Amino acid sequence: MAEHANVYPLRRELRREPRPQEPLWRDVLGRRLRALRQEQQETLSETAARAGISPQYLSEIERGRKEPSSEMIAALAGALGTTLIDLTEHVAGDLRRQMPLAPRASRTRPGRTRPGDVLALAA
């Protein structure tokens, strides 16, 4: 079962609507790595050997149980024949698709401004 982060603003009274649950990066990354490995019809052992890790550790990463270091993510990307930037872009896209539909303004923390907000205030 995937875990979700509960993110709370410092001051609860500023919340206007309930915050949608955001999936954790490690869960989405793990699913993307598993999909890439399975597309290539590889076993955990084959991919793990090329990345220089144990099959058990790769399994835990794919299941979202372990949060790999940036070096480990780069090694896995290389072992799967992709680049770190391509992998990151795919994970970011997966995160966007998994987010419940909500206005973009509600995705910012209270008290934070976005670049467009600053321009609107200055005008």
Domain assignment present for 87: yes
In this predicted model, what pLDDT tens digit does every residue of 5-17 receive, in sequence order? 666 555 555 556 6
- Model confidence band, residue 120 (pLDDT cutoffs 50, 70, 90): very low
pTM of the predicted protein model: 0.68
Task: Report the pLDDT value the prediction gives residue 53, as an integer from 0 to 100.
Answer: 97
> Which range is least confidently modeled, 14-18, 70-74, 102-106?
102-106
Residue 93, CA atoms < 13 Å, CB-side half-sphere: 7
Amino acid 111 reads G
Residue 121, CA atoms < 13 Å, CB-side half-sphere: 6
- Give the CATH number, domain containing residue 84: 1.10.260.40
Query: Dihedral sign, CA of 106, 109, 110, 114?
Result: negative
Domain span holding position 32:
21-100
Report the domain count for the chain. Answer: 1
- Model confidence band, residue 63 (pLDDT cutoffs 50, 70, 90): very high
